[in-house]
Amino acid sequence: MSADLGDRPKPKPIEECRDVYDVLEHVRLRPAMFVRNGSLEELMTLLNGYGIALHVHGVDEHSGLSPTGPFAQWLSRNHGWSMACGWARAITDHAEDVPPLEAFFRLLDEWRASTAAERTAAAES
């Protein structure tokens, strides 16, 4: 029997999202609403649109999620993956038995934790 829908975490209303990571929580909780077939290429398209909207409206937000940005550089450095086609293709190619979207969120969480730890260490020194 399926789990009670009331047990699932509920995202904040989309209009209350502060940044791309809040938007990505919507994707994490309800992937089929945002990303066809769990495709990371579809997710990249969504993120590109998000970035274009920021630029058009003069919002200065740097997520690090461009195809070859800081997240991709971290993946390359920590996993030795080529970023010639961007992080979406690299994760899809190396996801093995895990759905690529699930692998993305696991890696994103690891990257965000490592960058937070680096910032904390830098602030303490």
The model's pTM is 0.85
Q: What is the pLDDT of residues 55-88, one digit of tens each?
A: 999 999 988 999 889 999 999 999 999 999 999 9
pLDDT at 3: 47
Long-range contacts: 94-101, Cβ < 8 Å, 24+? 99/38, 100/38, 100/39, 100/40, 101/31, 101/35, 101/38, 101/39, 101/40, 101/43
